[in-house]
Structure 1
């Protein structure tokens, strides 16, 4: 059953998205405050419910990297046909890195590439390795089950294709493990709307919290010189809340996942 985006439906979807976060054991939460950002934007063909794409997005958060997401869900055409032409098959995730002139199809190979080029020591940590080959674990597949009604396929591919891509990509600020960011990514995947994913990973214990409350006491202060400080001061003008969507096509900036979902459906649905 596809849940409506009313108050009750949104609460249920939020609980489902939270289940995915819990099943992943905290991956996609924390990251470096000083990422090694590539000069040219990384491009990732993916879709939200794919467990292999999730592995890559978790590493993007860990390394705090921004990238262009080109949602390629089942039944879709806006990016999926292009994916098939570039990669030789409609398989995700598929990474294009113009900084190194690499095009990589296998999720573990993508992860190794990201650590080799955009981490301080150039080595893939053991927890991000797949020693038995590029296989999704049972837990990772279970985390995908709760998203299977959303983000796994295009909801109306003919209309999506007729609309095509926005003139400019949308910008989404958040991090992989946030259940509210997940709901927005699912909607973007269903609608096949490309966007720049700005990873804003939690950088310290004071960043951990939920429902507006953090573990740290007193006034919140991001790590000085870190990415969160930059986003808070330069992008959100003193506020720090996720998800945060910027749509340059309509000059729209907004917080709150439910409001963003309503906006996306109205504008691109």
Structure 2
């Protein structure tokens, strides 16, 4: 597969959604004490809407990938919710579990005091439609992040610093989804206009502060730079930037040989 084509179609997917899920718009005033749990798969336009809102609200979530044909977490959704439908969210802080993307978004706003507007009517239908178009833009490469592949299960969940609209983060999330690798998603949205653009351009031209949001501040303090994706694997003590290197690592360590 051409790396250039891979990145280009991922950029197109973000453009089709108007780069929603890039910025921390109005962060939640409360952070959950225990991580939220989201059962989803990367290619779903409905799951995409929830992930966009998580970035905008600056909320972290434990992702349990449920691609088509997956056997690792799909049975859990059936057991907990009674049906195979995605996204499915569990909040261990309140004992709440629910389906439907807009019900989940509404719940997040109300429970964690977010103030990002929930679209209704035509705006809602348009959001779903453009989310589907974004998914189909990746179809020329085999609809990545849709079907499960055999993999080795990690003892501990991985961690990924990402924001939904990041084209390079999407490439990594698709592989994590296909391999059914659970991971703690640290929402790393941009909090200021000075964050816009590639790190090299951003740091040289704007020369603004790097740690503008909660998890961007962690990256600056922990690594000395701020970019996504950033992967932490507690099973091997590996930490790394760069999507191509992360994907190669995941394939080498977790994809079944």
Query: Which of 243, 256, 262 is equivalent to 2:229?
Result: 243
TM-score (norm 2): 0.90
Aligned to 1:131: 121
Deviation at 1:147, TM superposition (A): 3.2
Aligned to 2:219: 232
Contact 1:207 1:216 in 2 (8 A): no
Single out whichever of 94-103 and 208-217 deviates more from structure 2.
208-217
Deviation at 1:132, TM superposition (A): 6.1
Gaps of 5+ in 2: none
Deviation at 1:100, TM superposition (A): 1.7
The C-alpha deviation readout for 1:72-127, integer Å capped at 9, x for no partner, is 00011111121122121221100001112110111110000011112345xx51xx
Contact 1:23 1:140 in 2 (8 A): yes
Aligned to 1:6: none
Aligned to 1:25: 18
Contact 1:17 1:147 in 2 (8 A): yes
Q: Which stretches of structure 1, 4 residues or more, deviate above 3 A after TM superposition? A: 32-35, 132-136, 215-218
The C-alpha deviation readout for 1:201-231, integer Å capped at 9, x for no partner, is 100000001363128835331366x415531
Hey, what's the Cα distance between the residues in 2 that align with 1:87 and 1:133? 28
| Residue 175 (str. 1) matches residue 163 (str. 2) | yes
Deviation at 1:40, TM superposition (A): 1.0
State how 1:146-225 maps to structure 2 within 5 Å. 146-148=137-139, 149=142, 150-155=144-149, 159-160=150-151, 163=152, 165-210=153-198, 212-214=200-202, 217-222=205-210
Aligned to 1:255: 241
Contact 2:187 2:215 in 1 (8 A): no
Query: Which of 109, 119, 125 is equivalent to 1:115?
Result: 109
Deviation at 1:179, TM superposition (A): 0.2
Contact 2:40 2:64 in 1 (8 A): yes
Hey, what's the Cα distance between the residues in 2 that align with 1:114 and 1:73? 24
Deviation at 1:33, TM superposition (A): 8.0
Hey, what's the Cα distance between the residues in 2 that align with 1:234 and 1:49? 33
TM-score (norm 1): 0.86
The C-alpha deviation readout for 1:227-256, integer Å capped at 9, x for no partner, is 1553134332x1111100000101100110
Aligned to 1:59: 53
- Paired residues in the alignment total 250
Aligned to 2:84: 90
Contact 2:65 2:180 in 1 (8 A): yes
Deviation at 1:152, TM superposition (A): 0.6
Deviation at 1:131, TM superposition (A): 2.6
Contact 1:222 1:228 in 2 (8 A): no
Gaps of 5+ in 1: 4-8
